[in-house]
Amino acid sequence: MMSRANAQAFIDLETGAVFTGYNNVRIPGDAGTLFSLKDDLTPKPNAFIRLRAGYAIGKRHTISLLYAPLTIKSDGSINKQIDFEGVTFPSNSPLNASYTFNSYRITYRYDLVKRPKIEFGIGFTAKIRDAEIALSSNGFASSKANVGFVPIINFRLNYKVNNNFGILFEGDALAAPQGRAEDALLAVTYKFSDNLMTHLGYRILEGGADNDEVYNFSLIHYASVGVLYKFKKNVKAN
């Protein structure tokens, strides 16, 4: 007699184009100059890649690791003096800016609903944020880096239209007095087989913080395409 192993590995690769909705900065948060990396400077076209790997354990438990790097560069000039992290940039000088927001996450999720047409799960994500905002111009340069831990709520809603097509809404989100963070995907999915699925959709990354050290709130849009591959389950004899 044969029975399935109780875990199945998967890998999820996502890529596409990134667009800045807004990105407002003041560093230090209580004394710097407020300016926009989107409206005062011009963001350069950019692509992204995200990689998730994990295990589905049994029918309802999922554990995964996510690597999500992001860097957006902007340039231009601003018709006012910019005080940024201890350096004063003269007005109308050519500026080069770099906005980095790399994310490393481990997630556990439990499927509360597991039906033929609909699945809904909720869980917890432990996120390491590796962020840096840098500004340079004609020999002047300054940057503010921040590495921190952020606990957030994970969710996933998957509606199966038929055997092949579905609608997926998933992400991580949490708001607190110190700031907020939302990273969510809404996509149409297509299943080629039990092991291979693709998606096409829209991802939003929004949030920020307001404190004495940093004021930064940003909205990033993603045009997303992805492929998820589930490795075949091993079987064992009873």
* List of residues 6+ apart from 163 with CB closer than 8 A: 191
**CB-based contacts of 83-88 (< 8 A; 24+ apart in sequence):** 83/31, 83/32, 83/33, 84/25, 84/27, 84/32, 84/33, 84/135, 84/142, 85/27, 85/28, 85/32, 85/135, 85/142, 85/143, 85/144, 86/142, 87/135, 87/140, 87/141, 87/142, 88/140
Q: What are the structure tokens assigned to 203, written together?
A: 């991802």
CA distance 30 to 33: 9
Peptide bond between residue 28 and the one before it cis (omega within 30 degrees of 0): yes
Residue 178, pLDDT score: 77
**Cα 70 to Cα 18, 31, 123, 130, distances in angstroms:** 9, 27, 24, 10
Q: What is the C-alpha radius of gyration for the chain, rounded to an integer number of angstroms?
A: 21
* List of residues 6+ apart from 183 with CB closer than 8 A: 68, 103, 171, 172, 173, 203, 204, 205, 206
CA distance 220 to 206: 6
First to last CA, the chain: 6
* List of residues 6+ apart from 38 with CB closer than 8 A: 20, 21, 22, 23, 74
pLDDT tens, position by position, for the chain (238 residues)? 333 446 799 999 999 999 999 999 999 999 999 999 999 999 999 999 999 999 999 989 999 999 999 999 999 999 999 999 999 999 999 999 999 999 999 999 999 999 999 999 999 999 999 999 999 999 899 999 999 999 999 999 999 999 999 999 999 999 887 789 999 999 999 999 999 999 999 999 999 999 999 999 999 999 999 999 999 876 554 4
**HSE on the CB side for 39, CA within 13 Å?**
10
Residue 177, pLDDT score: 79
CA distance 3 to 58: 12
**Cα 115 to Cα 59, 63, 110, 112, 139, distances in angstroms:** 11, 20, 14, 10, 61
